[in-house]
A and B are shown apart, each in its own frame.
Chain A
Amino acid sequence: MFKFTQMTLSQLEVGETGIVKEFTDLEMSVKLMEMGCLPGEEVRVSRIAPLGDPIAIHVSGYQLSLRKFEASTIILQ
């Protein structure tokens, strides 16, 4: 099935990396891209908050925190 092949950022474990492909949410994508999270950019999950949400990712040379739901709008290659 088509959707099983799509991996989102929220599915990555700590330490795993991926490359941003596209976004499912335009409003969110504008904010994420301003913060350096753009298509073609490598992202690495650096940690997950003690209660499982939000997560911290390494992108564009710094650490960005975002909620799991927000991460799920980022589709990886």
Chain B
Amino acid sequence: MKADIRVALVGNPNTGKSTLFNALTGLNQKIGNFPGVTVDKKIGYSQLPDGRSAEIIDLPGTYSLYPKSRDESIVFSVLAEKATELTPDLVVVILDATNLKRNLLLYTQVADLKIPVIIALNMIDLAKKGGVVINIDLLAKKLGVPVIPISARKLDGIANLKAAISFANKFALQEGSIDVKAIAPDLIDSICKEIDTENPYFALQLAHQHETLKFLTPAQSDRIEELEKEHSFHSQKAQATETIARYNYINDVLYDTVKTPVTAQDESHSNKIDKVLTHRVFGFVIFMGILLFMFQSIFAWSAYPMSLIEDLFVLIQRGLRDALPTGPLTDLLIDGVVAGLSGVLVFIPQIAILFAFISILEDTGYMARVTFMMDKIMRKVGLNGKSVVPLIGGFACAVPSIMSTRTIENWKDRMITIMVTPLVACSARLPVYTLLIALVVPSRNVWWIFNLQGLALTGMYVLSLVSAVIVAWVMKFILKSRERGYFIMELPVYRMPRWNNVLFSMYERAKTFVLEAGKVIIAVSIILWVLSSYGPGDRFKNIETKYSQPQYAQSMKPHSLARVISTEKLENSYAGVLGHTIEPVIRPLGFDWKIGIALITSFAAREVFVGTMATIYSVDGDADRIDSVQQKMRNAKNPDGSPVFTLAVAFSLMMFYAFAMQCASTVAVVYRETKDWRWPATQFVYMTLLAYGAAFLVYNLLK
């Protein structure tokens, strides 16, 4: 889509930037990556009142153009790089009207880059309610830019903002804020000449950031470095001088434009909630309660939609079986593709519920309080309060969580967080756990309200957190630190969650899961079906020849004869051979060769387990009986007639899945984030060893 004007959205975190982005673009948006880096790039399109269309780019939230993290470093490079497909014609700076002072810092920096700017003054309704009086006309006059009061949540003022975007100037008309040149006059002059720019603030930013900016040539960067030495430029001192000058200017601007009451009402309201939620006793009790409620609900609320989806797929398989002619292609479609597909789609309810909870916790500001409460404990084990968010996010999926560790500024804290996040029980393990728990744990209530199955699941989740903490503690002594850790973080005011955003995130995550995991699972299901339906050499032929001898037809009923043949075929198929090869290694864990096949395929992605079980047991069982995976596994028997999935085997399997690094996407994202193969390799080895040890221990204890 080609737009007439390109607009970048810039603002502090927690100012409602994403809400405004959604309000401007609706569902007309797409998420990608910024070139060369793995930072989410959200682009949407908006129809302007004059008939033109605007492309809106949502840039990561930041407090300043001086980046503290990799996400934030995108902001300056997008704004500053000339004539690319992302260079904005106009910047909309979104400011929180209840906290103008700190928000204006970023505005003055952006304004000094001399890109045309519009201010969207968000949460104007909350500011009014809190008694903050803003003289908007005077503010606009003093800054020299249009200031549009809006309330993104209530969709107030969005039309005005769109109109302002369509009337926006091609040239920057804002007043300069501070005397930038005074900070480093000679250096700025030299850089301006070197890079051929007339903007002193652009030159100063280059002096600070040239080492990380991709649009400078190495020669240019080296030249700037030389100039800095020549003029003895001290980056931190210059930043301190600049920040003080900017706040002086901001105080001048706000002096006669904004009147704030002694305590904003909103804040004191928030204070009352904080007294309970960060209470020294109740704080932790409530946090544990919320986690327990989350997992109970995931189990309880998803049960009905999940069984609906399962039933639907049994119907589809039965229908296809009746409608299509028998043959290998029909088998491939039904036992391979459809069985695999049902394995994916059945988890949509659980994933949607989990992401609903996580986005509510983040949206309300509660996640920041959890960070605040947990920092001291987390630091003791080598993590950081901010590690809590990726760890809790790890309950959903390690991939976005590992990406979210970018907010942790300290290298060592971040590496340890990345190394332990995959231990947290992610949603891909959920199907494995639910399936196995439902097989061996009775669904019975204990202590009034706790369902035994729910408790077993909660236990698996607690175990995952405990193991992550222990591994982090061990790594604290192994890794050498490079820099100091910080914990300077805003505690946003409590707000009601934006239900639109919650729904949007549920939809977005479920879609990503189906598309990303679905591809892998269907591919694996097909490969697996082929591997289990064909065997090396003429083994299959030999089996058929053997059983076509008359004595078998006489001594056995056709029904059981077919079963014996298919079991023997599976055992002699490529998959069976593979499973048998690793059987000696996994026998001590209580696993047979069929489970071995599932373990191998699960190294692509854990949720493949269920599909694999479905495929293996449909190939194994009779073709006419189509059961759900759970029934198939319940009916599975060892050669001696005892059931395969005993308590010991099920829990041993769960231990293996709890610890093993069975996720190709996580390995890939860890490499992408660390840029060093040794990290994912170490992670893979330590997790697999842990998995083997834990499964061995549990099997032998429960046997």
Answer yes or no: do A and B interact: yes
Point out the residues of chain A lying under 8 angstroms from B444, CB to CB.
none
B247 touches A36 (CB 8 A): yes
Contact with B along A33-60 (1 / 0, CB 8 A): 1111011000000110111111010101
A65 touches B243 (CB 8 A): no
Point out the residues of chain A lying under 8 angstroms from B271, CB to CB.
46
Residue of B nearest to A56 (CB): B491
Asked if B601 lies at the interface with its beta carbon under 8 angstroms from chain A, I say no
Point out the residues of chain A lying under 8 angstroms from B492, CB to CB.
63
Point out the residues of chain A lying under 8 angstroms from B100, CB to CB.
61
* The residue from B101, B280, B368 contacting A36, defined by CB atoms under 8 A apart: B101
Residue of B nearest to A53 (CB): B376
B99 touches A62 (CB 8 A): yes
Point out the residues of chain B lying under 8 angstroms from A49, CB to CB.
278, 372-373, 375-376
Q: Report the separation of the CA atoms of residues A27 and B236 in the bound assembly, to the nearest whole angstrom.
A: 7
A65 touches B489 (CB 8 A): yes
Q: Report the separation of the CA atoms of residues A33 and B168 in the bound assembly, to the nearest whole angstrom.
A: 32
Q: Provided the pairs A26-B236, A26-B237, A30-B240 are in contact, do residues A65 and B372 lie with their beta carbons within 8 angstroms?
A: yes
Asked if B274 lies at the interface with its beta carbon under 8 angstroms from chain A, I say yes
Main secondary structure of the interface of A (DSSP, over half): mixed
Q: Lowest 10 CB-CB distances: which A-B pairs, in order?
A: A50-B280, A36-B102, A51-B376, A63-B491, A33-B243, A67-B487, A34-B64, A62-B99, A53-B376, A30-B239
Residue of B nearest to A46 (CB): B271
B488 touches A66 (CB 8 A): yes
Point out the residues of chain B lying under 8 angstroms from A28, CB to CB.
486, 488
Asked if B490 lies at the interface with its beta carbon under 8 angstroms from chain A, I say yes
Q: Provided the pairs A34-B64, A54-B487, A56-B372 are in contact, do residues A61 and B243 lie with their beta carbons within 8 angstroms?
A: no
Point out the residues of chain B lying under 8 angstroms from A61, CB to CB.
98-102, 260, 264, 267
Q: A49-B373, A67-B487, A70-B487 are known contacts; what are 19 more A-B pairs with Cβ within 8 Å?
A: A26-B236, A31-B488, A32-B488, A35-B488, A38-B243, A50-B373, A51-B377, A54-B385, A56-B372, A58-B267, A60-B99, A62-B102, A62-B491, A63-B270, A65-B372, A65-B487, A65-B489, A66-B489, A70-B486
* The residue from B279, B280, B486 contacting A31, defined by CB atoms under 8 A apart: B486
A54 touches B99 (CB 8 A): no
Asked if B68 lies at the interface with its beta carbon under 8 angstroms from chain A, I say yes
Point out the residues of chain A lying under 8 angstroms from B507, CB to CB.
none
Contact with A along B95-128 (1 / 0, CB 8 A): 0001111100100000000000000000000000
Point out the residues of chain A lying under 8 angstroms from B264, CB to CB.
61
CB distance from B280 to the nearest CB of A (A): 4
B284 touches A26 (CB 8 A): no
CB distance from A29 to the nearest CB of B (A): 6
Asked if B249 lies at the interface with its beta carbon under 8 angstroms from chain A, I say no
Asked if B701 lies at the interface with its beta carbon under 8 angstroms from chain A, I say no
Interface residues of B in 256-290 (CB under 8 A from A): 260, 264, 267, 270-271, 274-275, 278-281, 283-284
Asked if A64 lies at the interface with its beta carbon under 8 angstroms from chain B, I say yes
5 contacts between A and B (CB under 8 A): A26-B236, A26-B237, A36-B105, A51-B373, A61-B264
Point out the residues of chain B lying under 8 angstroms from A56, CB to CB.
274, 372, 491
Interface residues of B in 566-610 (CB under 8 A from A): none
Asked if B446 lies at the interface with its beta carbon under 8 angstroms from chain A, I say no
Asked if B534 lies at the interface with its beta carbon under 8 angstroms from chain A, I say no
Q: Report the separation of the CA atoms of residues A31 and B487 in the bound assembly, to the nearest whole angstrom.
A: 10
Main secondary structure of the interface of B (DSSP, over half): helix
B240 touches A26 (CB 8 A): yes
B376 touches A34 (CB 8 A): no
Point out the residues of chain B lying under 8 angstroms from A66, CB to CB.
487-489
* The residue from B102, B372, B488 contacting A60, defined by CB atoms under 8 A apart: B102
Residues of B within 8 Å of A, CB-based: how many?
47
Point out the residues of chain A lying under 8 angstroms from B105, CB to CB.
34, 36
Point out the residues of chain A lying under 8 angstroms from B240, CB to CB.
26, 29-30, 33
B372 touches A54 (CB 8 A): yes
Contact with A along B345-380 (1 / 0, CB 8 A): 000000000000000000000001001110111000
Asked if B473 lies at the interface with its beta carbon under 8 angstroms from chain A, I say no
B243 touches A53 (CB 8 A): no
Residue of A nearest to B271 (CB): A46
Asked if B63 lies at the interface with its beta carbon under 8 angstroms from chain A, I say yes
Q: Report the separation of the CA atoms of residues A26 and B238 in the bound assembly, to the nearest whole angstrom.
A: 11
Asked if B449 lies at the interface with its beta carbon under 8 angstroms from chain A, I say no
CB distance from A35 to the nearest CB of B (A): 6
Asked if B66 lies at the interface with its beta carbon under 8 angstroms from chain A, I say yes
Point out the residues of chain A lying under 8 angstroms from B484, CB to CB.
27
Q: Report the separation of the CA atoms of residues A56 and B239 in the bound assembly, to the nearest whole angstrom.
A: 25
A47 touches B278 (CB 8 A): yes
Q: Report the separation of the CA atoms of residues A58 and B275 in the bound assembly, to the nearest whole angstrom.
A: 15
Interface residues of B in 276-309 (CB under 8 A from A): 278-281, 283-284
Q: Provided the pairs A47-B274, A54-B385 are in contact, do residues A64 and B373 lie with their beta carbons within 8 angstroms?
A: no
Residue of A nearest to B101 (CB): A60
Q: Provided the pairs A54-B385, A60-B99 are in contact, do residues A67 and B236 lie with their beta carbons within 8 angstroms?
A: no
Point out the residues of chain B lying under 8 angstroms from A38, CB to CB.
243-244, 247
Q: Report the separation of the CA atoms of residues A61 and B492 in the bound assembly, to the nearest whole angstrom.
A: 11
Point out the residues of chain B lying under 8 angstroms from A34, CB to CB.
63-64, 66, 105, 243
* The residue from B63, B239, B376 contacting A54, defined by CB atoms under 8 A apart: B376
Point out the residues of chain A lying under 8 angstroms from B486, CB to CB.
28, 31, 67, 70
CB distance from B127 to the nearest CB of A (A): 11
Q: Report the separation of the CA atoms of residues A40 and B493 in the bound assembly, to the nearest whole angstrom.
A: 24
A54 touches B236 (CB 8 A): no
Point out the residues of chain A lying under 8 angstroms from B244, CB to CB.
33, 38-39
Point out the residues of chain B lying under 8 angstroms from A30, CB to CB.
66, 236, 239-240, 243
Point out the residues of chain B lying under 8 angstroms from A29, CB to CB.
240
Point out the residues of chain B lying under 8 angstroms from A52, CB to CB.
376
Q: Report the separation of the CA atoms of residues A34 and B250 in the bound assembly, to the nearest whole angstrom.
A: 12
Residue of B nearest to A59 (CB): B102
Point out the residues of chain B lying under 8 angstroms from A60, CB to CB.
99, 101-102
Which of A28, A63, A66 has the largest number of chain B CB atoms within 10 A? A63
